[in-house]
Amino acid sequence: MTQKALLVTETGSPLIESSRPIPEPKEGQIQVKLTVAGLNPHDAKAQYYGLFVQNRLPSTLAVDVVGAVSAIGPNVSKFGIGDKTDYAAKVPEGINDNEAATLALNPLTAFWALFREDGAGIPPPAPFYGRKSGYDYSRLSLVVIGGGSAIGKYAIEWAKYAGFGTIITTASKSKREKELLEHGATHVLDRHAQDEELD
């Protein structure tokens, strides 16, 4: 059996539609039929500059994928045919495929932006790498531009989880305020507001 795929065959070139064999799962592997594949900025960098794919061309793009298990290799016990997965993790009931596809890269991007030394450099909250003794997250304020985006929502949630004192975000206030307050924002500023309205 074969599948259609868009391939990076040469960096800096357009994607090529191709037909590829569908691999059979080996021991300890599962085969997943994708239902959602999200593209991110690093996918464009892979296509144009070879980021993460240079040494394995031709290559497909998209790491934020969700699908259903379509075949199981020998000695697989945690998955069954039809299980919905994201990165070989079962997707909980109540989360749709589009939402689940954001669960790999977006939370990590927001986490790294806040809690890595090459990001904001704030010590990560427990249980991540151990909490620094006496660190008072409640004295911190954070402004998230674009709180309605997937990464924006995760940044708000990480800040809430850590216990930040003030979490301000910008968004379309009439459409997103209630949702963003539920995610943990303490203030939502309308992204359409004029300067004098924000005083």
Look at the block and give the residue holding tokens 């298990």: 69
Instruction: Please tell me whether residues 9 and 77 are part of one structural domain.
Output: yes
78, 103, 128 - which closes a domain: 103
CATH of the domain at 57: 3.90.180.10
Neighbours of 148 (CB within 10 A): 20
Please give the torsion angle defined by the CA atoms of residues 35, 2, 42 and 128, in that order, rounded to the nearest 10 degrees.
60
Per residue in 17-69, pLDDT (tens digit) is: 999 999 999 999 999 999 999 888 889 999 999 998 999 999 998 888 999 99
Q: Which of 103, 124, 152 is the last residue of a domain?
A: 103
Q: How confident is the model at residue 135 (pLDDT cuts 50, 70, 90)?
A: confident
- Do both 9 and 66 map to the same domain? yes
Shared-domain flag, residues 40 and 87 = yes
Query: What is the predicted pLDDT for the residue at 110?
Result: 94
Same domain, 96 and 141: no
Same domain, 6 and 88: yes
Same-domain pairing of 6 and 92: yes
Q: What is the pLDDT of residue 198?
A: 64
Residues 87 and 122 in one domain: no
Identify the domain boundary among 51, 78, 103. 103
Q: What's the domain count of the chain?
A: 2
Omega of the bond prior to 14 within 30 degrees of 0, cis? Answer: no
Sheet of 2-8, strand order: 16-21, 2-8, 59-60
Same domain, 43 and 71: yes
Q: Do 65 and 121 sit in the same domain of this protein?
A: no
CATH number at residue 145: 3.40.50.720
138-188 tens-digit pLDDT: 999 999 999 999 899 999 999 999 999 999 999 998 899 999 999 999 999
Are 7 and 40 within one domain? yes
- 39 and 128 both lie in a single domain: no
Range of the domain at 133: 107-198
